[in-house]
Structure 1
Amino acid sequence: MRKLAFGAAAAAMLLGGALVILWRLGAAADASPPERPTTLPSIPVTAGTVVAADVPVVLRGLGTVQAYNAVAVKSRVDGHIVSVDFKEGQEVKEGAVLFQIDPRPYQAALDQASANMEKDQATLANAQLNFNRDAKLIESHLAISQQQYDNDKATVAADQAALDSDKAQAEAARLNLSYCTITSPIDGRLGARLVDKGNLVQSAGNATLVNITQIKPIFVSFTLPQNALDEVRRQQDRQPLAVDAVAGDNSTTLAEGKLTLVDNMVDPNTGTIHLKAQFDNEDERLWPGEFVNVKVVLSMRHQVPTVPQQTVLEGSDGHFVYIIKPDDTVERRAVEVAAVQDGKAVITKGLEPGERVVVEGQYRLDNGARVTSLARPQSGGEKPNGAPQ
């Protein structure tokens, strides 16, 4: 009996030990870390496509709009202004009446000069008759002295000179009378009236009565760095270069024109060359004195790869982009950028049209990262640049 009791106790101890071991094994299994996922989560990015496009090669500068013609209207005679025949700011044609100066003193001067001319003309006619009579007597060898003949001939010459002087005075009086009516010398737009009706104007005072500017067509004067001179002249020799006048936002084109002047010397103080472009300006979007940005189109790059400007990043070894491969992983690729303009980067090496690229969200990426493409936003504005593009 004692042996049976000892065996039962040993069996119970063995069973309890086994249960403890199993319990510990189960607790250790519960405390083990969870299994790692086999793939990393996708990173959301904005995707775009490399597009082939025609991109112009341009030079950029800052210009000032200048009137095609500008005239300060002044009086050529003295007198009181008796009428003002225009409205400030209106457009006028060449020959339109602007001011009227009191013509009465000049009409009187013309009448007096005309009367003197008629009197001297009669005197000349009488002297001519006497001279003709003397000439016949001399030819017939009748009683007349040579002195008398010479005196009559001199009288005719003197009377002729007096008549010529009268004609000149009458013409001057007539011209001064015409100056009493002040007309527009050009087609253009009037400025503010600077002298009112009733005021006395004097030609010696050189006072401006009104300013007129011709704005159709119109000029834009601008400068470019001297290192652009050779290329500008070479392209201009082929055909007049296209020039765009652009608003201050660098995106709104105000007018399109042609380059008309490359100045004959470089400014040694600034190292720039002065140029001028002409615009039709029929819609009058350009105004004298206005500052505008200028784009000179030198040539055209045809069907070159382009991407949104923000697609291209710059690293220690140059520019690069992230390409989205068919399995939605990315690859970092070095590229060469020829220009950045109108919100686009022009790529000369590293990309082909149709490839997918990461436009935004690149800063969280590395080679092999998996991405999820989001909708592409609108492209940004133009990036100004003062060098050839």
Structure 2
Amino acid sequence: MPMPDVSALLRRRRPLLASVLLLALLLGFLFHGASRTDAQPSTAPPPVPVVTTRVEQRDVAHWRNGIGTVQSLQSAVLRPQVDGVLTEVLFEEGQKVQRGQLLARIDDRAIRADLGGAQAALSRDQATLQAARSDLARLQHLSGDQLVSRQMLEQQAATVKQLQATGNGNQSAVDAARVQLSYTRIVSPLDGRIGLRQVDPGNLVRASDTQGLVTVQQTDPISVVFPLPQDALPQLRAALAAGPVAVQALDRDGGQLLAEGTLRVIDNQVEEASGTVRLRASFGNADDRLWPGQLVSVRVLAGRSRAALVLPPEAVLRGVDGSFVYRVEADGRAQPVPVEAGAQGDGAVVVRGALKVGDVVVRDGQSRLRPGSAVAEARPAAATSTRGAAP
């Protein structure tokens, strides 16, 4: 039997051996890589960057906010009370005036003439009455000696009474003429500010005119009328019973303080349609920062929480089981802590629960937190940009 050709056999099996060797090397590499991977410990997720704050203890003012309208405490429309020509206007539009200050005059010549006639008639009747009284006194003296009849005496007494009644009527006419004359002088009924003049001098004015000459409005002190929800009523009534209640008037955006005053009155009924109650507060307004008809923001100090634990409002979250905060524990991990959120004011909210003064609480960045998440204090963006902008 002939011997096989070994060299030919090796040439035919060389590709197969190369493939087996390559497969062995590949398996060895994968096994070594898997062993190295299994040998390396798994890395923990990086800490979540957050902004933290601390629980503080302080007094917190409870402010109730609303929108109100500035109103004058007193306002008067000056209308003529007699007919006549407006002869003089003694004020400037927008001028501040005092109570009793003369503002305008109406032609009074006809009324003065009527007054003079009434005074003359009164003087005449007074002289006649005086003579009649003298006659009555003589008749009474003579009647004692039976020198005059009783009828004569009674007639003279009746004449005296008639003249007295006539004199009283003339006195009333004089008084009425004097009142009419006083109406020709138009004076301010209050301290305030004059509005726009409606009638110019030289025009005929009548007592029946409804337009009026001008309006005077008291501006110092001044008031603001504003509504608040009816659920604030018990707290406001209790505060008002305890003493003066502070009220602040701010501009429409609520940023600039315009005036500080006190709550004056709570309306005697709740408006059913809106469920609100109207209130009036009064303010000193010497600098005219409040103007009648102006819309302002109003803050009412309804009470205070003394020595309360407080946090920024954004630190308190609401979940399905109620309010809670993320407290940073000593190991640097955030854990949820249930709290009860109370009144809010002065940029803080009163909290009650398992917190104490000085506890570190997450203020911003809670959306990426889970119970037990590691946290790290984030660098404030504003501080970073400021440093970058510095030369």
TM range (shorter): 0.7 to 0.9
Classify the secondary structure of the residue corresponding to 1:122: helix
Change (3 A) 1:324 1:252: farther
Residues 1:86 and 2:91 are matched in the alignment: yes
Matches within 5 A, 1:165-314: 165-314=169-318
Partner in structure 2 of residue 43 of structure 1: 48
Gaps of 5+ in 1: 1-15, 379-389
| Residue 239 (structure 1) shift | 2.3
The 8 Å contact of residues 93 and 184 in structure 1, kept in 2 or not, is answered as: yes
Residue 57 of structure 1 aligns to which amino acid in structure 2? H
Deviations along 1:101-133, whole A, 9 cap, x unmatched?
112111111111112122222222222232222
Task: Indicate the percent of aligned positions where both proteins have the same amino acid.
Answer: 38
Matches within 5 A, 1:87-106: 87-106=92-111
Classify the secondary structure of the residue corresponding to 1:124: helix
Partner in structure 1 of residue 160 of structure 2: 156
Gaps of 5+ in 2: 1-17, 383-391
| Residue 74 (structure 1) shift | 1.1
1-structure distance, mates of 2:169, 2:53: 88
Classify the secondary structure of the residue corresponding to 2:180: helix
Residue 90 of structure 2 aligns to which amino acid in structure 1? D
Change (3 A) 1:90 1:72: same
Change (3 A) 1:231 1:24: closer
Deviations along 1:239-278, whole A, 9 cap, x unmatched?
2333333443345443333333233334444444333222
Match of 1:115 among 108, 115, 120: 120
Match of 1:126 among 117, 131, 135: 131
| Residue 295 (structure 1) shift | 3.3
Q: Which moved more, 1:279-288 or 1:33-42?
A: 33-42
Q: Which moved more, 1:209-218 or 1:366-375?
A: 366-375
Partner in structure 2 of residue 145 of structure 1: 149
Q: Which moved more, 1:325-334 or 1:63-72?
A: 325-334
| Residue 58 (structure 1) shift | 3.9
Q: Which moved more, 1:99-108 or 1:314-323?
A: 314-323
Classify the secondary structure of the residue corresponding to 2:213: strand
Change (3 A) 1:309 1:152: same
Change (3 A) 1:66 1:305: same
Change (3 A) 1:254 1:53: farther
| Residue 37 (structure 1) shift | 6.1
| Residue 47 (structure 1) shift | 2.2
Change (3 A) 1:233 1:42: closer
2-structure distance, mates of 1:241, 1:122: 66
User: TM-score with structure 2 length normalisation?
Assistant: 0.81
Change (3 A) 1:213 1:36: farther
Partner in structure 1 of residue 387 of structure 2: none
Alpha carbon RMSD of aligned pairs, Å? 3.1
2-structure distance, mates of 1:353, 1:297: 26
Residue 237 of structure 2 aligns to which amino acid in structure 1? R
Classify the secondary structure of the residue corresponding to 1:169: helix
User: TM-score with structure 1 length normalisation?
Assistant: 0.81
Count of paired positions: 362
Change (3 A) 1:182 1:293: same
Partner in structure 2 of residue 63 of structure 1: 68
2-structure distance, mates of 1:111, 1:139: 43
Q: Which moved more, 1:100-109 or 1:202-211?
A: 202-211
Residue 211 of structure 1 aligns to which amino acid in structure 2? T
Q: Which moved more, 1:109-118 or 1:33-42?
A: 33-42
Partner in structure 2 of residue 329 of structure 1: 333
| Residue 203 (structure 1) shift | 0.8
Classify the secondary structure of the residue corresponding to 1:299: strand
Change (3 A) 1:227 1:371: closer
The 8 Å contact of residues 50 and 354 in structure 1, kept in 2 or not, is answered as: yes
Classify the secondary structure of the residue corresponding to 2:153: helix
1-structure distance, mates of 2:368, 2:199: 70
Q: Which moved more, 1:166-175 or 1:28-37?
A: 28-37
Residues 1:316 and 2:312 are matched in the alignment: no
The 8 Å contact of residues 54 and 304 in structure 1, kept in 2 or not, is answered as: yes
Residue 336 of structure 2 aligns to which amino acid in structure 1? R
2-structure distance, mates of 1:56, 1:212: 38
Q: Which moved more, 1:176-185 or 1:219-228?
A: 219-228
1-structure distance, mates of 2:381, 2:99: 53
The 8 Å contact of residues 62 and 345 in structure 2, kept in 1 or not, is answered as: no
2-structure distance, mates of 1:167, 1:255: 53
Residue 182 of structure 1 aligns to which amino acid in structure 2? I
Partner in structure 1 of residue 13 of structure 2: none
Matches within 5 A, 1:8-23: none
Q: Which moved more, 1:85-94 or 1:329-338?
A: 329-338
| Residue 213 (structure 1) shift | 1.2
Match of 2:342 among 338, 348, 358: 338
Classify the secondary structure of the residue corresponding to 1:203: coil
1-structure distance, mates of 2:242, 2:300: 15
